[in-house]
Amino acid sequence: MSLFSLQQQLKEEIRGAAREMFGVEVQQLTADTPPKPELGDLAFPVCFELAKLIKQATGEKMAPRAIAEKLKPRLESFDQVARIEIAGAGYINVFFDRAKLLQLFTTKTSFEAKRDGDLTDQKTDQSKKMVEHTSINPNKAAHIGHVRNAVLGDTFVRILQAAGDRVEVQNYIDNTGVQVADVVVGFLHLEAMNLEKIKALDESLTPDYPFDYYCWDLYTEVGRFYRDGNPSNDLNPEKLGMRTKVLHAIEEGNNRIAELADYVATRNVECILNTMERLGIRYDLLARESEILHLHFWERAFELMKMKGVIRKETEGKHAGCWVMPFESHTGTDEHESDKIIVRSNGTVTYTGKDIAYQLWKLGKLGLNFHYRVFRNYQDDHTLWITTTDAKAEAKAGVERPPFGGGDTVYNVIDSRQSYPQEIVARGVAAIVPEVGADASVHFSYEMVALSPAACEELGITLSEEDRAKPYIEMSGRKGLGVKADDLINQLESGALLEVEKRNPELSETDKKATAHEVAIAALRYFLLKFTRNTVIAFDFKEALSFEGETGPYCQYAAVRTNSIFRKLGDETLRDADSLLTMISGDSALQLRVSEVLSGESGTEIWSLVMLTQQLDEVIAQCRKSAEPANLAKYTFSVARAFSRFYHDHRIVTEKDDVRRAVLIAVTKIVRAQLTAALAILGIRVPEQM
RNA sequence: GCCCGCGUAGCUCAGUGGAUUAGAGCGUUCGCCUCCGGAGCGAAAGGUCGCAGGUUCGACCCCUGCCGCGGGUACCA
DSSP string, A291-348: HHHHTTHHHHHHHHHHHTT--EE--SSTTTT-EEE--TT--SS-GGGSPEEEE-TTSP
Burial profile A321-338: b = 16 or more Cβ within 10 angstroms, e = fewer: ebbbbeeeeeeeeeeeeb
Q: Give the model's confidence band at A137: pLDDT under 50 very low, under 70 low, under 90 confident, else very high.
A: very high
Please name every residue paired with A474 in a beta bridge, in sequence order, or none if there are none: A450
Amino acid making up residue A661? R
- For residues A47 and A62, the answer to whether their CB atoms sit within 8 Å is no
Query: Hey, which residues does A409 pair with through a beta bridge?
Result: A129
Are A675 and A643 in contact, with CB atoms under 8 Å apart? yes
A444 CA → B16 C1’, Å: 23
Angle between helices A658-681 and A98-107 (to 10 degrees): 50
Q: Which nucleotide is nearest to A548 (CA to C1')?
A: B39
Q: What is the pLDDT of residue A113?
A: 54
Task: Name the residue closest to B71, CA to C1'.
Answer: A417
pLDDT: which is higher, A676 or A18: A676
Q: Which residue is nearest to nucleotide B73 (CA to C1')?
A: A336
How far: A35 CA to B20 C1' (Å)?
11
**pLDDT: is A129 or A458 the higher one?**
A129
Residue nearest to nucleotide B69 (CA to C1'): A471
| % of chain A surpassing 70 pLDDT | 95
Query: Are A171 and A505 in contact, with CB atoms under 8 Å apart?
Result: no
Give distance CA A134 / C1' B67 (Å).
38
Helix (H, G, I), strand (E, B) or coil at A118: coil
Average pLDDT score over residue span A363-388 = 95
Mean pLDDT for chain A overall: 90
Distances in whole angstroms, Cα of residue A641 to Cα of each of A551, A560, A613, A636: 11, 13, 12, 9
Instruction: State yes or no: pLDDT of A389 exceeds 60.
Output: yes
Whole-number distance in Å between A470 CA and B48 C1':
28
Q: In this structure, are residues A374 and A384 in contact, taking their beta carbons and an 8 Å threshold?
A: yes
Q: Are A94 and A75 in contact (CB under 8 A)?
A: yes
| Distance (Å, whole) CA A111 – CA A95 | 24
- CA A375 / C1′ B40 distance in Å: 45
Nearest nt (C1') from A472 Cα: B70
The Cα A341–Cα A405 span in angstroms is: 27
- Sign of torsion, CA A75 A80 A85 A87? negative
Query: How large is the average pLDDT for residues A597-612?
Result: 91
Residue nearest to nucleotide B70 (CA to C1'): A536
Q: Measure A271 CA to B11 C1' (Å).
A: 36
Q: Which helix (H) or strand (E) holds A557?
A: helix A552-568
Which whole number is the average pLDDT over A313-341? 72
Closest residue by Cα to the C1' atom of nucleotide B74? Answer: A336
Q: What type of residue sits at position A550?
A: E
Q: Which of A598, A592, A597, A638 lies closest to A615, judged by CA?
A: A638
CA of A360 to C1' of B23 (A): 44
| List of residues 6+ apart from A366 with CB closer than 8 A | A297, A300, A301, A304, A357, A360
Beta strands in A208-313 (DSSP E): 285-288, 312-313
What span, in angstroms and rounded, lies between the C-alpha atoms of A660 and A590? 11
A338: nt with nearest C1' to CA: B73
Integer Cα distance of A513 and A501 in angstroms = 9
Encode pLDDT of A545-564 as tens digits.
Answer: 999 999 999 999 999 999 99
Q: Distance (Å, rounded) from C-alpha A25 to C-alpha A276?
A: 49
Residue A618 and residue A175: Cα distance in Å, rounded?
A: 41
**A337-345 average pLDDT score:** 83
Task: Tell me which of A8-22, A429-443, A598-612 is least confident.
Answer: A8-22
For residue A377, what pLDDT is reported? 94
The residue-averaged pLDDT of A380-407 equals 93
A415 CA: nearest nucleotide by C1': B71
Share of chain A above pLDDT 90, in %: 66
Q: What sections of A86-194 are H helices per DSSP? A: 98-107, 110-115, 144-162, 178-185
Q: What is the mean pLDDT of residues A293-300?
A: 95
A564 nearest nt, CA–C1': B36
Judge contact between A369 and A304, C-beta under 8 A.
Answer: no
The least confident of A176-185, A229-238, A463-472 is A463-472
Q: Give the count of alpha carbons within 13 A of A220, CB side only.
A: 13
Which carries the bigger pLDDT value, residue A121 or residue A294? A294
Q: Which residue has the closest alpha carbon to B77 C1'? A: A351
Q: Which nucleotide is nearest to A519 (CA to C1')?
A: B39
> How confident is the model over A93-110, as a mean pLDDT?
81
- DSSP assignment of A423-490, as one string? HHHHHHHHHH-TTT-GGGEEEEEEPPEEE-HHHHHHTT----HHHHTSS-EE-BTTTTBS-BHHHHHH
- Say how far A155 CA is from B25 C1', in Å: 22
Using C1' positions and the CA of A638, the closest nucleotide is: B24
pLDDT at A107 over 80: no
Distance A38 CA to B20 C1' (A): 14
- Higher-pLDDT residue of A38, A502: A502
Q: Considering only CA atoms, give the Rg of chain A.
A: 29
| Nearest nucleotide over every DNA/RNA strand to the A655 CA, judged by C1' | B36
Q: Of residues A275 and A381, which shows the higher confidence score?
A: A275
Which nucleotide's C1' sits nearest to the alpha carbon of A27? B17
- Transcribe A127-156 into DSSP letters: -EEEEE-----TTS--BHHHHHHHHHHHHH
Return the closest-CA partner of residue A205 out of A214, A197, A218, A216.
Answer: A214
* Beta-sheet pairing, A449-451 with A340-343: unpaired
Helix A256-278 to helix A178-185 angle (10° resolution) is: 110
The gap between A336 CA and B3 C1' (Å) is 11
Rounded Cα distance, A106 and A671, in Å: 10
pLDDT for A307 equals 93
The DSSP element (H or E) to which A537 belongs, if any, is: strand A537-539
Chain B positions under 7 Å from a protein CB?
1-2, 4-6, 12-15, 17-20, 24-27, 35-37, 39-42, 69-77
Q: DSSP strand E in A606-667: where?
A: none
Q: Which residues 6+ apart lie within 8 Å of A38 measured at CB?
A: A604
Mean pLDDT confidence for A417-433: 92
- Rounded mean pLDDT of A213-229? 94
Q: Residue A1: its pLDDT value, please?
A: 61
Q: Which nucleotide is nearest to A137 (CA to C1')?
A: B77
Structural domains of chain A, with CATH: 3-96 (3.30.1360.70), 455-544 (no CATH), 552-681 (1.10.730.10)
For residues A589-616, give the mean pLDDT.
Answer: 91
* Beta partners for residue A441, in sequence order: A410
Report the nucleotide nearest the CA of residue A534, measured to C1'.
B5
Q: Taking each helix axis from N to C terminus, what angle separates A552-568 and A658-681, rounded to the nearest 10 degrees?
A: 140
Give the CA-to-C1' distance from A517 to B48 in angstroms: 47
Closest CA to A529 of A160, A134, A155: A155
**pLDDT tens column, A623-670:** 999 999 999 999 999 999 999 999 999 999 999 999 999 999 999 999
> Which nucleotide has its C1' atom closest to residue A560's CA?
B37
Spanning CA of A52 to C1' of B56, the rounded length in angstroms is 14
Distance CA A56, CA A59 (A): 6
Residue nearest to nucleotide B42 (CA to C1'): A645
ipTM confidence: 0.96
Is residue A580 within 8 Å of A662, Cβ to Cβ?
Answer: yes
**Residue A58 pLDDT > 50, yes or no?**
yes
Note the CA–C1' distance, A344 to B77, in angstroms: 15
The spacing between the Cα labelled CA in A7 and the C1' in B69, in angstroms, equals 43
- Taking the CA of residue A523 and the C1' sugar atom of nucleotide B43, their distance in angstroms comes to 28
CA A651 to C1' B34, whole Å:
14
**CA A348, CA A476: separation in Å to the nearest integer?**
27
Residues facing A384 on adjacent strands:
A376
Mean pLDDT of A43-71: 78
